[in-house]
Structure 1
Amino acid sequence: MYKKIYIILLVLVCIGGCKNDPDLVVPTDKLSTSSFPTTLADLNAILNPAYGNLKSVGLYGFNLMPKALEDAVHAGDANYNGDQAWNEMTANNLSVTNSRSQDAWTALYAGVTTCNVTLEAADFFEANSATASQKADIDAVRGQAKFMRAFYYFQLETLFGEAYLKAGGANDAKMGVPLYKEVPKNLEATQQGRASARDVWNFIITDLQESTVLLENTVWPATEVGRVTKWSAKALLGKAYVFTEDWANAKTTLLDVINNSGKTLMPFAKYKDAFNGNTANEFNEESLFELNVDANNNGNYGPWGGNPNASTLNGVIWSPYILSETGTETGSRALGYGGNLGVHDKNITRFGYPLGYYTLVANPAYNSQLPASPDNPARIMDPAYRAQAVAVRTNKTADPRLYVNLVQPWIDVLNIDWNGGPRKDVPVSKPDYLAGEPNTYGWGFRKYAAIDYHINNVNYDKWNWYFLRMADVYLLYAEANIGAGDAATGLEYINKVRRRAYDLPINTASARDYTSLTAVTPAINDPVLGRNPLRYERWAEFFHEGLWWFDICRWHLGPQEAAFFGKARNLSTPLTFNESKSYSWPIPLTEFNANEKIAGQQNPGY
């Protein structure tokens, strides 16, 4: 796809949160004049914002991950408590004015709008300017627009829908989200009540089915590699079937992706380095849908720069720390904004790390004749503890994905160019706000984090974001088989993902395999994941990728997760979870102020 995708403002139709003012609704019968679009390039220019919108501030550009989903699942542990919306996400107790949920609602519907505009433009172009030979190219645009519209509605429904569908028709009549199937032609059309959950999922499924047909014969050149394909659509379709517990269709669709897409799990040697901006790993053999992110320094922090949809800036919040310039944890330096978000300690033992907390001792090699520094620290991690920790890593006593996802103080070393000076190796540190707290692990994020540069110096993330990859397909296929009564096949596909984590051939049985669907997992003293390989593998495999929240909600794990994590730094009270409301985010108050037909249709409990 185009390496830089910019929003082109062709029409402003505000669906989510628009005001009741006819002047703000552009008549779309005047959108496509006799001169636009007249070329395929015009049509693709209209489509491109459907991709670029994913990088908006309200979505994956910034707010959705570090300030919403990562706190909601307690992968992150916010130290900063001055943001009420952020605190509400941590507590899983949102208000109808929560800015994070409101931003997501608005941005997701903006994405729907770009797709609807594209589909109308495709019809106009085909009817007025296209040649017969351009039919396949126009259909490829339609296929992408339908996939992207389904993707946006998938997220809207799973975040804001009243309840997930269940096998046998349970919850079909629950409230879904408003459906806008075309660009509103007048003010009345901007007013939509909530469709049923079944109608929303049917719309998503139909869009994806049609997308696979429209993209059937499309093969993108290398310059367009980031565009969605029929296999992207089939993978998301299979996921929709799993999320609606349609096990039969899920099995057929996902097995088609496994057998015929040409995709597979990437080897562990690539996997361990696949989330940190190595361009050699982009759009690899495991990737089915990936958000391209340009390392584009606009001088004003990614999403807020001159090209707001060219880059993202999640890493400024979840950056790891390195030792201070004098080699201490006190004053340790964040590779982004300091004092915001660390890793919740409970995640360390959940990955199977068996050791307790470390202590600092006098460095026997300290040279008092030289300045104290990261190369010459006065105090270091207890060498006995260090030896044990290295053995855990070497012997794979803990899940190896622990070290794919996180960095460990004193043992991991980051090669950093600090403030324009020469690059040098500096040990990872506890965050400075945990210095002096002995009963903390203080690990930092590695996956999707700045680990070889200071993000404040460049103002952008440099890693692509995986939305769909084959590990998800394998585990969804496992779940579909288990749901359909085939435990053996389900277990085998769970084990394929586990084998990759341990750098083993994925199709060969191993000593690391789970022997049953209730086998012990690496999670230590964990009543939620300790004896459930499917749940554990989804948690461990997609840690810090924004997927676990949806598993919590569809499996109703909220109270158990709250009890497991216990507390959060930005809250003064223990974590709790209200099952009658917290699995769904509230429809924003702004929507009720703008949309008369949604009156009385708030999610329960709000």
Structure 2
Amino acid sequence: MLKKKYIAALALILLAGCKKDPINVGPPNQYSSSTFPKTVSDLQSVLVSCYANLRDQGIFGFHFLPKALSNSMHTVNSEYNGDPGWNEMAANNLSVGNEYPSETWQALYTGVKNCNVTIYAAGTLLKNNPSADQQTINLVLGQAYCLRGWYYMELECLFGEAYMQAGGVNGDKMGVPLYTEVPQNLAQTQVARSSVKDTWALIISDEKQAAALLKGQVWPSTDAARATEWAAKGLLGKAYVYTQDWADAVTTLKDVIQNSGKTLMPYTTYHDAFNGNNKFNSESLLELYIDQNSMGGYGIYSGAANSSTIDGLIWAPRTFGGYNGTIPFDGTEGTTQALGYPNEFVHDQNVVRFGYSIGSAYNLVANPKYTGSNPSFLNPQLIQDPAYTAQAIAVRTSQTADPRLYVNTLQPWVDSVKFDGVNWAKVAKPDVYAFQQNHYGFSMRKYSPIDYNENTINSDKWDYYLLRLADVYLLYAEASVGAGDAVTGLEYLNKVKRRAYGLSINAASAIDYKSLTDQTSAANPVSPDPVLGHNPLYYERWAELFNEGTWWFDVCRWKIGDSEAAYFGSAINVTQPLTATFSDNKSYVWPIPLSEINTNSKIKQNPGY
């Protein structure tokens, strides 16, 4: 079972290849290619490291989504302002010493290395054991190529100097260093940055090889986390869209849509598909398996190998606090009980962008059900004005706001969470917004603990989607529009939107967009967005993939940083407004880490740093 082998990955790949003869002993931190791998099982153990590395703290283990991208995309505001790296991310003004790009760079290249080791080990196995099953070896190779393509795509989108455009425009700019083999000495690690064109060529080649090697393979449920032909083709289609190769994108993505056997989840399943339920569902194309087992500590910081992450520790919501044994709090805003160690909550502008239009102001009134003299989160003295609560509930039932608002967020006083894994209590505003009527104060729901307390469990329980079919639909819509077929593009935008409203995805409906400039929920008169408000393609990618780590790439490739900065205005964890204008020479590109500049004599820094 691949998902149960994660915890052994790095240990196995570093097994020593020592002989019994004490005179001929190999290095203890590496295996000997003359003796390992000898079997397909040995090779599988090497492959596992390619998957396990996705849980590194620099990627999905902790820092990449909540601390880096959530701030950069202004998915969140942060109650904590003591981390300079967060502040730089929120202001989109990074320094070369920022720890988060550095961690991500290192983790992604570790993934590349692990994939290269697997590819090398497959060749070694055939030398050591010519009778080994070639078909199984090919399946291992297919997974390694698929994941290497994913790692390089992330590297290029974050650190490449520019996105390549139709006709190869920007292809001669700096991409990232390419390693296709395992360096054998220090000199071979000194690699210059390849061009953007060559970097994307390798990504495309990897995914093509992966699709060919994995063709027709259907994994059993115990190996559902493994890459497939359709994962590779989906990533290939994404690479074509990101490089504006519209013709190849249309062909590839249409193949995935028509032949993968995948379908969009119904809304009732989709609503709960980001919090530990409905794993490996009908929509999942490539998914990082997470096993909620912290083994005595916080995920990657547990001190023991495990397959957990702790992103939700920062996104955790709050419930209302209560009597602490000394001071009789009223059990409402200002005294909260957290389901983790929450530093982040939803930026108010996101609530508005989803179309929530009744405003944030409400009164706190006496709770008619209050009893006794010890107020608590279950027995508050004050509650939200029931009239406002009724309005808020009406917004949901009438769907006057995009229903994805409630997939992604939790509303104070309206939504509830299990603060102890058993008892439900109302969600509270973050402490920093307590008693402030001019803030929505919604909490994160997607990829957040809502039915357990992360301080008790110490790890996440949900899988992460590296690719799902809704993303493919939206990429196909974009590619169709780019290829001149606006009718097909509009229909696939509407399919994704219909699912969000609980409708049949294939039947025309009253909520359909009528044109590619039709009004979206982001046209909300409370704070209209001049870009996403009348751009269904942009809005649907933002709304559907909210907090999944892709919006930053869309902002950068579409060059809409100026409008994003103007729309969000400021982030409360920084003492300065967000960057008023985005510099093409800096803001859209992360810096090459200082550690890499200092150790790789052939590498060049991105402009502006």
TM range (shorter): over 0.9
Contact 1:345 1:442 in 2 (8 A): yes
Aligned partner of 1:207 in structure 2 is 206
Amino acid at match of 1:592: I
Q: Tell me, yes or no, if structure 1 residue 488 matches structure 2 residue 487.
A: yes
SS of residue matched to 1:50:
helix
Aligned residue identity for 1:575: L
Query: Is the 2:33–2:124 Cα contact (8 Å) retained in structure 1?
Result: no
Pairs within 5 Å for 1:376-387: 376-387=379-390
Aligned counterparts of 1:427 and 1:4: Cα–Cα separation in 2: 39
> Contact (CA 8 Å) 1:558, 1:579: kept in 2 or not?
no
- Choose from 394, 417, 421 the match for 2:420: 417
Which residue of structure 1 aligns with residue 587 of structure 2?
A: 582
**1:313-462 aligned within 5 A:** 313-325=310-322, 326-338=330-342, 340-367=343-370, 369-417=372-420, 423-462=422-461
| Paired position in structure 1 for 2:254 | 255
Structure 2 residue aligned with 1:22: none
Aligned-partner Cα distance in 2 for 1:122–1:548: 36
8 A Cα contact 1:39 1:130, kept in partner: no
Equivalent pairs counted in the alignment come to: 582
CA distances 1:332-358 after superposition (whole Å, capped 9, x unpaired)? 1121114x1111000000000011113
Corresponding residue to 1:293 among 290, 300, 324 = 290
After TM superposition, the score normalised by the length of structure 2 is 0.93
CA pair 242-396 structure 1, distance change in 2 beyond 3 A:
same
Partners of 1:79 and 1:371 lie apart in 2 by 29
1:10 and 1:184, CA in 2 relative to 1: closer, same or farther beyond 3 A?
farther
Give the match for residue 15 of structure 1. Answer: none
**1:225, CA displacement in angstroms?**
1.1
Deviations 1:169-213 (A, max 9, x none): 210101000000100122211100000000000000001101111
2:39 maps to 1:39: yes
User: Residue 101 and residue 286 in structure 1: after superposition, are their counterparts in 2 closer, same or farther (change >3 A)?
Assistant: same
- What is the alpha-carbon distance in structure 1 between the residues aligned to residue 251 and residue 370 of structure 2? 66
**Match for 1:407: what amino acid?**
L
Contact 2:296/2:302 (8 A) holds in 1: yes
RMSD, matched Cα: 1.6
Distance 1:223 1:163 in 2: 40
In structure 2, distance between residues paired with 1:412 and 1:33? 57
Q: Which moved more, 1:428-437 or 1:447-456?
A: 428-437
Which structure 2 segments of 5+ residues have no match? 15-25, 323-329
Q: Give the residue type in structure 2 aligned to 1:585.
A: W
Q: How many Å apart are 1:34 and its aligned residue?
A: 3.0
Name the CA distance, whole Å, in 1 between partners of 2:364 and 2:141.
63
User: Are residue 121 (structure 1) and residue 121 (structure 2) matched?
Assistant: yes
Separation in 1 of the partners of 2:310 and 2:31? 33
CA 1:309–1:590: 2 relative to 1, 3 Å: farther
Aligned counterparts, 1:126-137, within 5 A? 126-131=126-131, 134-137=133-136
Contact kept, 8 Å, 2:295 with 2:306, in 1: the verdict is: no
AA aligned opposite 1:5: Y
Gaps of at least 5 residues in structure 1 are 13-25
Equivalent pair of 2:474/2:541 in contact (CA under 8 Å): yes
What letter corresponds to residue 336 of structure 2 in structure 1?
A: S
1:65 matched residue in structure 2: 65
TM-score, normalised relative to structure 1 = 0.94
- Residue aligning to 1:541: 544
Write the deviation string for residues 104-152 of structure 1: whole angstroms up to 9, x where unpaired.
00000000000000001000101221426x1100000000000111110
Query: What letter is aligned with 1:330?
Result: G
Is the Cα–Cα contact under 8 Å of residues 38 and 130 in structure 1 kept in the other structure?
no
1:8 correspondence with 2:10: yes
1:21 is aligned to: none
Contact kept, 8 Å, 1:336 with 1:455, in 2: the verdict is yes
Q: Measure the CA separation in 1 of the matches of 2:352 and 2:396.
A: 13
Task: Assess if the C-alpha contact under 8 Å between 1:567 and 1:573 holds in 2.
Answer: yes
TM-aligned CA deviation for residue 218 of structure 1? 2.0
Q: Distance in 1 between matches of 2:345 and 2:224?
A: 34
TM alignment of 1:174-185, pairs within 5 A: 174-185=173-184
The question of whether the paired residues in 2 share the 8 Å contact of 1:333 and 1:432 is answered with no
| C-alpha distance 554-309 of structure 1, shift in aligned 2 (>3 A) | farther
Residue 304 (structure 1) aligned with residue 304 (structure 2): no
Q: Following the alignment from structure 1 to structure 2, what is the Cα–Cα distance between the partners of residues 424 and 225?
A: 33
Q: Distance in 1 between matches of 2:347 and 2:305?
A: 30
Structure 1 residue 378 displacement after superposition: 1.5
User: CA 1:34–1:316 in 2, change beyond 3 Å: closer, same or farther?
Assistant: same
From the superposition, tell whether residues 137 and 368 of structure 1 become closer, same or farther in structure 2 (CA, over 3 Å): closer
CA deviation after TM superposition for structure 1 residue 559, in Å? 1.0
* Distance in 2 between residues matched to 1:152 and 1:40, nearest whole Å: 24
Matched, 1:79 2:83: no
SS in 1 for 2:602: helix
Q: 2:265 aligns to what?
A: 266
8 Å CA contact retained: 1:122, 1:138: yes
Q: Could you say which residue in structure 2 is the equivalent of 1:592?
A: 597
Alignment-mate amino acid for residue 209 of structure 1: K
Cα gap change, 1:591 to 1:322, in 2 (>3 Å): same
Structure of higher RCO (CA pairs closer than 8 Å, 6+ residues apart): 1
Give the whole-Å Cα distance in 2 for the aligned partners of 1:499 and 1:438: 33
